[in-house]
Amino acid sequence: MTNKTLTTIAFALTLVFLYSLNFASAIVVDTNYITIYPGEEGKITLKIDNNENFDIEKVSASLLLDNLPFSSIGSSEKDVDDINEDDDDSASFTIKASSDIKPGDYEIPYLIKYTNAQTNEPGTKTGSFGIRVSAKTEVSYSVDVSGSAVQNQQGKISLEIINKGLGEIKSVDVQLTPQGFELLSSNQVFIGTINADDTDTATFDVIFTTTAPVLKAKVTYKDFENNAQTDTVNLPFKVYTQEEALKLGIIKKSNTGTYFLVLIVLLIIWFVWRRIKKARKKNNKLRGEN
C-alpha cells in the first residue's frame, strides 16, 4: 500500500469523524423526570439545546400521545421562540394519566420541528423520555375467628390484609402481640407479595383467656415505590363464656358426666344384684340340707 493511498484513507476517516461530531452535536432535548398517579396530572418541561453551528427558528415541540394512556391538558404541541446557536429554550406540557392506567414506567415520544435560519431548510428531532405512574398504597385489615371463640378453649384467629391500591405491596410481614389470648404457634408470619385488589391472611393458633381480646399486630411491607411502611393494627373481637356459648348454640353441652354417672349406677346395681343372687343361692342350699 502506497503512501498516497494511506493519505487518502486517513483523510476520508478524518472527514467521517468530523461529520459524526457534527451529527452528534445537533439538537439536544432534556426533560424532567416526574411521577404521577392514575387519574392525576403532571407537568413536563422539554429543554431544547441548540448545539448546531447555526440559529434555528420556527421551533415547535410536540408530545406524541397516540395509543398511550395519557392525555394532554391543553395542546400537545407548543411553539418555541427562535433559538440562537449555543442557546436553549423550553416548552412545558401538562399531561394526565388515565384513571385505569396500570402503574409502571412509560416512555413518551416527542417531536421537535425547526428551520435552519441560514438555509431555510426544515429539520426534525425525535426521541422519548421516561415517566413513572405510581400507585397510592391503600391497605385495610379485618380479623376472623375460626372454630369456637369460647373462653378457655383453643381456636384460630386470622388477620386478613386487603390491598385496595392499584399497585402490589411486597415483603409483607405480620408480627403478633398476644392480648387476651395465649399463642400456640409462632407470633410471626411472612406473607410476601399481595397483588393489587387482592388479599392474604396470617393465621395463628391460640387459647382464648378473656372475653374481650384484641388482635394487636405490627405489619411491615414495601409499597409500589419500594419504600418501607409499617402499620399498627388493633382489632378487638368477641369471645364467649361457656354459658353464653351454650345459650347461643355455639357449643353443645357435654354429656360425659351423665354417661359416667349412669355407668356407676349400673355397676352398683349389677354388684348389688350379684350379692343378692349369691345370698339367695346360699339360702336355698342351706334349706336343702335341712
How far from chain centre, in Å, is Cα 19?
Answer: 51
Instruction: State mean pLDDT over 159-176.
Output: 96
Q: Do 154 and 241 sit in the same domain of this protein?
A: yes
Distance CA 13, CA 53 (A): 22
Q: Do 145 and 243 sit in the same domain of this protein?
A: yes
Q: Do 243 and 163 sit in the same domain of this protein?
A: yes
Instruction: State mean pLDDT over 42-55.
Output: 94
CATH code for position 43: 2.60.40.10
Round to the nearest angstrom and report the end-to-end CA distance of the chain.
156
Q: Where are the beta strands (DSSP E) in 178-213?
A: 181-183, 188-194, 198-208
pTM of the model: 0.66
> Residue 268 has what pLDDT?
83
Q: Residue type for 219, please?
A: V
Q: Do 72 and 102 sit in the same domain of this protein?
A: yes
Domain that holds residue 191: 139-248
Quick one: CA torsion of 9, 15, 20, 23, rounded to 10 degrees? -150
Instruction: State mean pLDDT over 151-174.
Output: 95
> Residue 243 has what pLDDT?
86
Distance CA 31, CA 150 (A): 63
Q: Do 79 and 155 sit in the same domain of this protein?
A: no
Q: Which distant-in-sequence residues (6+ apart) come within 8 Å of 144 by Cβ?
A: 157, 158, 160, 201
Q: Residue type for 247, please?
A: K
Distance CA 141, CA 158 (A): 10
Q: Which distant-in-sequence residues (6+ apart) come within 8 Å of 125 by Cβ?
A: 26, 27, 29, 111, 112, 114
Cell matching residue 160: 386478613
pLDDT tens-digit map of 9-20: 444 444 444 444
Structural domain ending residue among the three candidates 101, 133, 165 = 133
